[in-house]
Amino acid sequence: MGFFDILVRLGLAMDRYETFVEDGTVYVGSDDGPLEVAPLEDIVAAAGGPAWTITYSEAEKERYAGMDTSDEGLVVDVVDMLHAMTHSQRFVDTLAAHPTEVPADDTISPRAGLFVGKLLENLEHGVA
């Protein structure tokens, strides 16, 4: 029996919900079935494009002198990162509460904006 199995038996493991793309639309799994987020092209555009280059500012390098920056310059595929993301029940519930309609003065919906925020956080800091 693995560590995760023990956590499940003790009731300490939390469900995680996967991200997937179907017919060009991003979805997040939920207990009620797939939760539509937004078109993939809108998510990728809001994240700055299909590729993310890992960079560190001089200030970061100076402040955290012991930080491993050997990955600087590596390019991460945004869609690959999106597929690697999993979400807690709390995040899925919050995502579901956000509207999918795009406001007149914006380019993406509030639901897509919340998702893109988490995607950008994962691109900057690694998948959580």
Query: Rounded distance, CA 82 to CA 11, Å?
Result: 28
The answer to whether the beta carbons of residues 18 and 89 sit under 8 Å apart is no
Q: How many domains does the chain have?
A: 1
- The domain containing residue 12 runs over which residues? 3-125
User: What is the predicted pLDDT for the residue at 125?
Assistant: 80
What integer pLDDT is reported at residue 5 of this predicted model?
56
Q: Which residue has the tokens 């996967």?
A: 18
pTM of the model: 0.82
pLDDT tens-place string over residues 32-59: 999 999 999 999 999 999 999 988 899 9
User: 3-28: per-residue pLDDT in tens?
Assistant: 655 555 555 556 899 999 999 999 99
Query: For 69-121, what is each residue's pLDDT tens digit?
Result: 888 899 999 999 999 999 999 999 999 999 999 999 999 999 999 999 999 99
**CA atoms 82, 86, 91, 92: torsion sign:** positive
Tokens describing residue 102: 């795009």
User: Residue 64 gets which letter from DSSP?
Assistant: T
